[in-house]
Amino acid sequence: MTDVVFFDLDGTLVDHRSAVMETIGQIVRAAPNATAPPEELVTLWWTLEARHMREYLTGQCSFAEHHRRRLRSFLPMLGEPVPESPDLLDAWIAERYLTVFEEYWQCYPDVQPCLESLKRLPRGPRLAVLTNGDPGQQRAKLARFGLLEYFEAVLTPTELGAAKPAAYAAACRWMRTDPARAVNVGDMLESDVNEAALAGLTGIWLDRGIDFVTGGPSPTADETVLRIERLTDLPGHLSRTNA
C-alpha cells in the first residue's frame, strides 16, 4: 500500500528547461558584444547552471551565490563587464534573468488532471513535492499554477538539511512514513528513480521523451524500471498496486 507519493518539480510538474532556454536565448540575442553564437551561449549557461547548482546542493555556497558564480563566468562571454559588487550581480539576476524566466514558466498539461485523479482515489496517498530547488522559487511555481493545495508538504534541502539522494530518507521521516510505502515520481532516471530505489522507495520514471540534462532523446532504461509517459497514467498504476 502506497502511503506517500513524492513528486519531483522541475521537468516533472513545471517545464524548467524550456523556460531557461527561452530566457537565455532572449538575453544573448539582444547582446551586441557577445563573443560566441547564441546557441553556444545558451548551452554555456545551461552548463554553468548545472555546475554551480551542484555547489549549492553540496553546501559550498548559498543559492544567491550560485547565481553570482554563474554570472561571473557568463558575462565575459556575453561581452559585458563583471561587477565586483555582489549587489550588482544580484540586481542583474533579478532584473534581466528572473523576471523573464518567471514569465516563461509553464505547467505541463497532465499535472492537474493527475493530481485531481489521485485526490479522488478511495484510498489515495498523501502527496508531497521533493525538490532540490530553492524553496521560495519552487513554492512560487506551484502557487502560480494553483498546485500548492494538492500537497501536504514542499520539501527542499532547506527543510531537510540534504539534497537528493540523501533527502529521500529525510523526506520519509518528515512525512512519517516508511520508505517501503513511499513512491517517488520524476523525470530523471538516475536521480529520481534509481537513487530513490536505493533508498528503499519505489521510483517511477516519468519519461517525457527528452533528457533533462542534454536536451536529447531519453536515456535507455532497464526493463525493470517502472515507466510512464504521462502523469495521468500514475493514478491507474497506483490503483492497481494498492488493490
If one counts the domains in the chain, the total is 2
Q: Which of 89, 104, 119 is the last residue of a domain?
A: 104
Considering the domain architecture, whether residues 67 and 133 belong to the same structural domain is answered as: no
Considering the domain architecture, whether residues 99 and 125 belong to the same structural domain is answered as: no
Considering the domain architecture, whether residues 78 and 114 belong to the same structural domain is answered as: no
Model confidence pLDDT, tens digit, residues 98-148: 999 999 999 999 999 999 999 998 888 999 999 999 999 999 999 999 999
Q: Which of 77, 104, 131 is the last residue of a domain?
A: 104
Considering the domain architecture, whether residues 100 and 110 belong to the same structural domain is answered as: no
The stretch 166-171 carries a mean pLDDT of 96
Considering the domain architecture, whether residues 139 and 229 belong to the same structural domain is answered as: yes
Model confidence pLDDT, tens digit, residues 23-64: 999 999 999 999 999 999 999 999 999 899 989 888 899 989
pLDDT score for 169 = 97
- 145 with 14: CB under 8 angstroms? yes
For residue 242, name the pLDDT band (cuts at 50, 70, 90). low
Model confidence pLDDT, tens digit, residues 190-212: 999 999 999 999 999 999 998 88
Q: Which of 57, 82, 104 is the last residue of a domain?
A: 104
Q: What single string gives the DSSP state of each residue in 30-97?
A: T-TT-SS-HHHHHHHHHHHHHHHHHHHHTTSS-HHHHHHHHHHHHHHHHT----SSHHHHHHHIIIII
| Res 213 pLDDT > 80 | no
Q: Write out the residue range of the structural domain in which residue 40 sits.
A: 17-104
Considering the domain architecture, whether residues 63 and 182 belong to the same structural domain is answered as: no
* H-type alpha helices, the chain: 16-29, 38-57, 63-78, 86-92, 99-103, 111-120, 135-144, 157-160, 167-174, 195-198, 234-242
Considering the domain architecture, whether residues 35 and 125 belong to the same structural domain is answered as: no
